[in-house]
Amino acid sequence: MFADLHLHTHFSDGTYSPEELAGHARRHELSVVALTDHDTVDGCPRMATACLAEGIELIPAIEITSELDGHELHILGYGVESTHTGLLAELARFQRIRQDRIRDIVLRLQKLNLPITSDAVFELANCNSPGRPHVARALIQAGVCKNLDEAFERFLKRHRPGWVPKARIHAEDAIRLIHEAGGAAVIAHPALNRCGHLIPDLARYGIDGIECFHSKHSPADSEHFEEMANRLGLLVTGGSDCHGMNKGQPLIGGVKLPLGLVEKLRDRMSRHRLAARSCEELKPAVC
Ligand code: AMP
Ligand code: ZN
Ligand code: FE
Ligand code: FE
What is the widest separation between alpha-carbon atoms in the chain?
Answer: 59
User: CB neighbours (10 Å) of residue 188?
Assistant: 23
* Type of residue at 93: R
pLDDT tens for each residue of 95-104: 999 999 999 9
Mean pLDDT of all residues belonging to the chain:
96
**Cβ(166) to ligand 1 under 6 A?**
yes
Task: Report the C-alpha gap between 198 and 232 in whole angstroms.
Answer: 12
Entry pTM: 0.95
Ligand 1 atom at shortest distance from the alpha carbon of 13: 10
**Cβ(247) to ligand 1 under 6 A?**
yes
For residue 12, name the pLDDT band (cuts at 50, 70, 90): very high
Domains, in order of start, for the chain: 2-83+183-282 (3.20.20.140)
Ligand 1 atom at shortest distance from the alpha carbon of 135: 3
Which ligand is in closest contact with the Cα of 148? 1
pLDDT tens for each residue of 224-265: 999 999 999 999 999 999 999 977 789 999 999 999 999 999
pLDDT tens for each residue of 36-71: 999 999 999 999 999 999 999 999 999 999 999 999
DSSP one-letter string for 215-268: TT--HHHHHHHHHHHHHHT-EEEEE--B-TTTTSS--TTS--EEHHHHHHHHHH
Task: Report the C-alpha gap between 219 and 231 in whole angstroms.
Answer: 18
Chain CA centroid to CA 62, Å: 5
Which ligand is in closest contact with the Cα of 242? 4
pLDDT for 278 equals 83
For residue 285, name the pLDDT band (cuts at 50, 70, 90): low
Which residues have a Cβ under 8 Å from the Cβ of 122 and sit 6 or more positions away?
Answer: 99, 102, 130
Cα-Cα-Cα-Cα dihedral sign, residues 164, 169, 170, 172 = negative
Task: Report the C-alpha gap between 65 and 48 in whole angstroms.
Answer: 23
Nearest CA to ligand 1 atom 9: 133
Closest to 39 (Cα-Cα) out of 128, 170, 109: 128
Q: How far apart are the first and last CA of the chain?
A: 40
**Cβ(227) to ligand 1 under 6 A?**
no
Phi, psi torsion values for 169, nearest 5 degrees: -85, 160
SS3 41: coil
Task: Report the C-alpha gap between 94 and 128 in whole angstroms.
Answer: 10
Task: Say how many Å lie between the CA of residue 159 and the centre of ligand 3.
Answer: 20
**Cβ(202) to ligand 1 under 6 A?**
no
- What's the rounded mean pLDDT across residues 194-213? 97
pLDDT for 280 equals 74
Task: Report the C-alpha gap between 244 and 137 in whole angstroms.
Answer: 14
Task: Say how many Å lie between the CA of residue 132 and the centre of ligand 1.
Answer: 6
**45 neighbors 82 (Cβ within 8 angstroms):** yes
Which ligand is in closest contact with the Cα of 74? 3
pLDDT for 287 equals 53
**Cβ(132) to ligand 1 under 6 A?**
yes
SS3 146: coil
Nearest CA to ligand 1 atom 18: 149
